[in-house]
């Protein structure tokens, strides 16, 4: 019996997050009406816990306590104590297969998809259905995707394949067109704030900043809040100010920033620029402190040095840098010339900030 590809499978203990209630109801609706798609493509930004949602649903579909229940209400999830749930948690349920890259960041290989093809050719062992989760689906290399395509074209009976992807456009169109699409809900501001408030003791400023740096992805925001990433803001902002005063070399700063976690420096630059432009638009010149109504608009509430720097540079020039930052953010992780883009941004900033 082919099993999950990961050699040391972590225990699968899925949970439902507060912003997933609506999605969960819809998934249960498939289950209640016995109209499961053959292949479901779960899409949405990183950090929305799509993988956890897929795993929880797979577990719930295979849970033996629930199998005899006619209609599941919206709070129902897998029982976590029946034999099927125990097998699932150990990633040894014979009717479940999890396909992930063997190493983080690497491709899902064709050999892994061949295991899937063999798996779906067998009869189910315990359950009346079979569930496969592929995550992140865009990690499949071309051969793997082609191999999966054949299975999607002739879907096996009683089998659900859940593809999880933050970048569905990186999947071949032929794969996408054979899946039912399920864009997961994003979390609204209130839900995210209250979830983060329950998850730990964070200041409102830090929560706002973490959410903005992670494009409103609560799970990633929590990671930022619990790690040193927010604390590097002050250090990087200092570099940014040194560049503006000609006390640092753009290439040296670029080299240093490239060692920081993916995209964090550029997202921080974005928040500084937005704040600087807001100082201009609110006419908050000459170090006048922000009033309470204005403070809420700023990522970095009332950073006096940032305010002073903002006022020293005409807003038109700030927009030039802002446009450049947006351009780099759009390139995202696909960019092969990260260093080049960052260097060019920092050189431009240093020139603009120093020109009279």
Residues found near Zn ion in the complex (CB under 5 A): 63, 65, 78-79, 82, 85
Structure tokens at 250: 């753009």
User: Which residue reads 């496969």 in tokens?
Assistant: 132
Shortest gap between Cβ of 157 and Zn ion (angstroms)?
23
User: Toward Zn ion, which CB reaches closer, 84 or 144?
Assistant: 84
- Cβ proximity to Zn ion: between 78 and 325 the closer is 78
Cβ-based nearer residue to Zn ion, 63 or 346: 63
Name the minimum Å distance from CB 94 to Zn ion: 15
Which residue, 59 or 139, is less far from Zn ion as judged by CB?
A: 59
Closest contact distance (angstroms) between CB of 58 and Zn ion is 12
| Nearest distance, CB of residue 120 and Zn ion, angstroms | 23
Shortest distance, position 80 Cβ to Zn ion, whole Å: 6
Cα-Cα-Cα-Cα dihedral sign, residues 309, 315, 320, 325: positive
Q: Which C-beta is closer to Zn ion: that of 62 or that of 213?
A: 62
Q: Which is nearer to Zn ion, 85 or 98 (CB)?
A: 85
In the complex, the smallest distance separating the C-beta of residue 84 from Zn ion, rounded to whole angstroms, is 5
d(CA 42, CA 56): 13
Give the nearest distance from C-beta 33 to Zn ion in angstroms: 21
Q: Which is nearer to Zn ion, 79 or 199 (CB)?
A: 79
Give the tokens for residue 236: 């990087």
| 226: Cα within 13 Å, side-chain hemisphere | 10
Select 87 or 184, whichever has its Cβ closest to Zn ion: 87
The Cα 240–Cα 250 span in angstroms is 9
- Residue 93 and residue 82: Cα distance in Å, rounded? 12
In the complex, minimum distance from the CB of residue 95 to Zn ion, in angstroms, rounded to a whole number: 13
């Amino acid at each position: 019996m082919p099993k999950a590809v990961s050699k040391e499978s972590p225990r699968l203990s899925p949970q439902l997050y507060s912003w997933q209630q609506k999605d969960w109801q819809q998934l249960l609706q498939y289950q209640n009406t016995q109209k499961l798609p053959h292949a479901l493509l779960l899409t949405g930004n990183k950090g929305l816990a799509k993988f956890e949602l897929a795993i929880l649903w797979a577990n719930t579909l295979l849970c033996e306590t629930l199998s005899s229940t006619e209609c599941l209400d919206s709070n129902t999830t897998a029982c976590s104590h029946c034999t099927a749930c125990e097998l699932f948690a150990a990633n040894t349920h014979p009717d479940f297969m999890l396909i992930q890259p063997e190493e983080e960041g690497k491709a899902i290989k064709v050999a892994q998809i061949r295991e899937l093809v063999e798996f779906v050719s067998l009869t189910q062992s315990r359950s009346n259905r079979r569930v496969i989760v592929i995550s992140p689906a865009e990690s499949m290399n071309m051969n793997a995707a082609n191999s999966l395509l054949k299975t999607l074209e002739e879907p096996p009976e009683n089998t659900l394949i859940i593809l999880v992807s933050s970048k569905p456009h990186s999947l071949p169109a032929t794969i996408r067109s054979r899946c039912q699409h399920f864009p997961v809900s994003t979390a609204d501001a209130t839900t995210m704030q209250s979830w983060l408030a329950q998850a730990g003791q964070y200041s409102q400023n830090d929560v706002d900043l973490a959410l903005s740096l992670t494009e409103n992805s609560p799970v990633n925001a929590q990671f930022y809040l619990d790690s040193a990433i927010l604390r590097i803001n002050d250090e990087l902002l200092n570099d940014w100010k040194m560049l503006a005063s000609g006390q640092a070399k753009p290439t040296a700063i670029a080299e240093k920033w490239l060692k920081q976690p993916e995209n964090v420096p550029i997202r921080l630059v974005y928040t500084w620029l937005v704040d600087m432009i807001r100082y201009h638009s609110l006419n908050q010149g000459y170090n006048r402190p922000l009033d309470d109504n204005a403070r809420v608009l700023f990522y970095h509430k009332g950073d006096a040095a940032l305010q002073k720097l903002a006022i020293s540079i005409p807003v038109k020039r700030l927009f030039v840098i802002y446009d450049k930052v947006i351009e780099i953010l759009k390139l995202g992780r696909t960019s092969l010339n990260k260093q080049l883009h960052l260097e060019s941004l920092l050189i431009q900033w240093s020139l603009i900030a120093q020109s009279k």
